[in-house]
Amino acid sequence: MASTAMPSPLSVTFLLFLLLLGASFYTIEAREPFACDPKDAKTKGLLFCLASLKVEDRVKDLIGRLTLQEKVKLLVNNAAAVPRLGIKGYEWWSEALHGVSNVGPGTKFGGDFPGATSFPQVITTAASFNASLWESIGRVVSDEARAMYNGGVAGLTYWSPNVNIFRDPRWGRGQETPGEDPVLVGKYAASYVRGLQGNDGNRLKVAACCKHFTAYDLDNWNGVDRYHFNAKVSKQDIVDTFDVPFKMCVKEGKVASVMCSYNQVNGVPTCADPNLLKKTVRGVWGLDGYIVSDCDSVGVYYDQQHYTSTPEEAAADAIKAGLDLDCGPFLAVHTEDAVQKGLLNEKDVNTALANTLNVQVRLGMFDGEPFKHPFGNLGPKDVCTPAHQELALESARQGIVLLKNRGPSLPLSTRRYRTVAVVGPNSNVTNAMIGNYAGVACGYTSPLQGIGRYIKTIHQQGCADVTCADDKLFGAAVNVASQANATILVVGLDQTIEAEFKDRAGLVLPGRQQELVSKVAAASKGPTILVLMSGGPIDVAFAKNDPRISAILWTGYPGQAGGAAIADILFGTYNPGGKLPMTWYPQDYLKNLPMTNMAMRSSQSTGYPGRTYRFYKGPVVYPFGYGISYTKYVYTIASAPTVISIPLDGRHARGNTTTSGKAIRVTHAKCNRLSIGVQVDVRNKGSRDGSHTLLVFSTPPAGHWVPYKQLVAFEKVQVPARAQRRVLINIHVCKYLSVVDKSGIRRIPMGLHSLHIGDTKHSVSIQEAKLGLIKS
């Protein structure tokens, strides 16, 4: 696709002005109302159409008017129309992982809406560690989603984001996630959901969905696929790792939906497990919204997992477990028979419908004219605006990670280097930059095009594609590298290597890409810069240790403006500040490590290495949180407490129920406002302004069930050259300094907790408050 010129960098103020301008001064002809059309005399006076009534009263009234036959046809993603009540059919399935997508049938591009802003893939955006950026992206995506809904080509229910943990580096869908750390993933989830859903009280701009609940991170590996996989997970790992992002998404993000996954967890399909759905998601966490199945999950556990004997039992099990909506036809086909056979009460169907209708009412779908909605004026001019595209560019810049800079060789000087050789299978890609679950981008700037805006280029791919099956194109690539003043190699992966349904076999560059890199670097007469495009980590130890390779950048899948962002960093217009959201392991890590082993913690007796930086202490290529800059930052802890006392809530007697192994149960502590305030001075010692990510880790007191360290806070801070900024970090003790024991109970360990900020450490002693200090 031809390049679309991206706007020049804008000030934050002007960017906000453009965002407001695009959203405020355009009106379109209203789409037909979904329901409650004021021109329809037979429905306009019905109670469920009265916006002045409470949501629950409107929902109750509507359910009372439906027959069982009508109800069951509303339990599926392509919900049927109810013409006698003036209600149109609705497609629930739309996607907006990193921009409005056409993966689901609810969204169509064309006509007035040829495309939408395609932001970087989530793994890239997560590397920014910038919660305000994530929320800003959500706001833009929901603006464009509402505009497309108003134009009749999209829905209002978006089954995004993916908040599974990137547990195994081979997972093909790891690119969709915010990485391997539960707190990082949870904060991303809450921030992006807030951006999507808006902040208008109980009303929803669009309805987001956190997926896939739970312990889902295998697609198709070594003959095991997601439809048949039984994830055997300890209570400790469920509470400590897999459920954390979903809990944060529900409780902090107030998400309107949660999606259950295909796999079983400990022998029970997640979409048929009342302990997961009804008890945990809705009961303990308080979901205000609906629970939806991954597509055909109910059919999968009947047809492929053979979990029930009859389809009616499968339908009954799902609804009684707390499932409200089926992506797929199964519930529409079998629920009525399940009721008639006494396996299910119509009350259970009513409960499921109440949850889905609650969300539709909050979206304004029963309020009559769409143009009267607060976002009813959004239209084609609010999609792919200059401000939205600028934010896509800025997001890519913030997410790119500088891994190596020998010399330093970067940034490249256009005065010193007149011609650059651009080589590699990803050097001139466009669609590959947007990863999966994407839509149609507004336009693209490939790496070659972005670099070409700064300097004269000579180009050879070197490999026909990322599989790099032969060396037929190596000679031409080596030749251009020997002619140019510098060489930029753009290599890595794409969706043919890692994707939904496709887990990776290993961690090295595919095919003969490594050979291409080494031969081109040997021939280059100037510095060789390696640019990696991938969702998952790559073992590039060969390049890290090769003195002929001067610098390494990881870009993830950087979105529609990826080439421009890469060039801005290579030539110094932007100072990189991204940090890796996942560990980069050596290929040897995978020896005797099946993807099907769900254990997070290492085992000395079996030689099991453990997973993620929290539980793995072996060799790495690059660690979680790694990323360098064109400047140097130093930290000083200006103030922080050295002792924190944990008061008990007064209702629990001391003993094993409250304290175990010198750790207090979180549920027995007075947790409100119990936080550690740390003031950190961040000094930029270099000559370039920079946007810096401050990562705070904690090492709990030693214990056989605690992580080696865990992320407890992060902040993005802009620090001008040779200047200093003070950052206040608040660490909630019960949330972030707690650990989970083998029984799945979250506890606060007593003793010394070591806080790590770069090379700076600070110890905090946590102790139980004395009896006289406890207020009951």
Which residues are known to be catalytic?
A: 294
Report d(CA 296, CA 327) in Å as an integer. 6
List helix spans (H) across 576-652: 612-615
Number of residues that this document lists for the chain: 776
Sign for the pseudo-dihedral over CA of 424, 389, 534, 222: negative
307 Rama sector, left if φ>0, alpha if ψ -120 to 50, beta otherwise:
alpha
Residues 6+ apart with CB under 8 A from 605: none
Question: Which amino acid is present at 708?
Answer: Y
**What are 218's two structure tokens?**
């295998």
Distances (CA, A) of 483 to 10, 448, 456, 457: 36, 17, 12, 11
Sign for the pseudo-dihedral over CA of 596, 598, 603, 605: negative
> Which of 321, 315, 323 is CA-nearest to residue 341?
315
Residues 6+ apart with CB under 8 A from 23: 143, 378, 382
**What are 272's two structure tokens?**
């048929």
Question: Which amino acid is present at 17?
Answer: F
Report d(CA 277, CA 261) in Å as an integer. 11
Residues 6+ apart with CB under 8 A from 190: 248, 249, 252, 253
Block residue for tokens 């037909």: 32
> Which of 425, 444, 436, 492 is CA-nearest to residue 121?
436
Do the strands 257-260 and 210-213 form a parallel or antiparallel pair, or are they unpaired?
Answer: parallel
Sign for the pseudo-dihedral over CA of 325, 326, 332, 338: negative
**Terminal-to-terminal C-alpha distance of the chain:** 67
DSSP assignment letter at 740 = E
DSSP assignment letter at 217 = -
Report d(CA 741, CA 70) in Å as an integer. 48
List helix spans (H) across 256-385: 297-303, 311-321, 330-340, 346-362
Report d(CA 79, CA 91) in Å as an integer. 6
**What are 503's two structure tokens?**
């887990």
Counting beta carbons within 10 angstroms of the beta carbon of residue 687, is it exposed (0 to 12), middle (13 to 18) or buried (19 or more)? exposed
Report d(CA 612, CA 246) in Å as an integer. 19
Task: Report whether 491 contacts 531 (CB < 8 A).
Answer: yes
Task: Report whether 298 contacts 330 (CB < 8 A).
Answer: yes
- The dihedrals phi and psi of 371, each to the nearest 5 degrees, come to -70, -15
Helices (H) and strands (E) in the chain, counts: 20, 27
Stretch (H or E) spanning 491: strand 486-492
Contacts 24+ apart (CB under 8 A), 308-311: 311/337
Q: Is the peptide bond before 212 cis (omega within 30 degrees of 0)?
A: yes
Give Cα 255 distance to the centre of its chain.
14
Other C-beta atoms within 10 Å of 215: how many?
Answer: 26
Report d(CA 422, CA 452) in Å as an integer. 9
The dihedral formed by the CA atoms of 549, 553, 556 and 562, expressed in degrees to the nearest 10: -110
Report d(CA 342, CA 315) in Å as an integer. 12
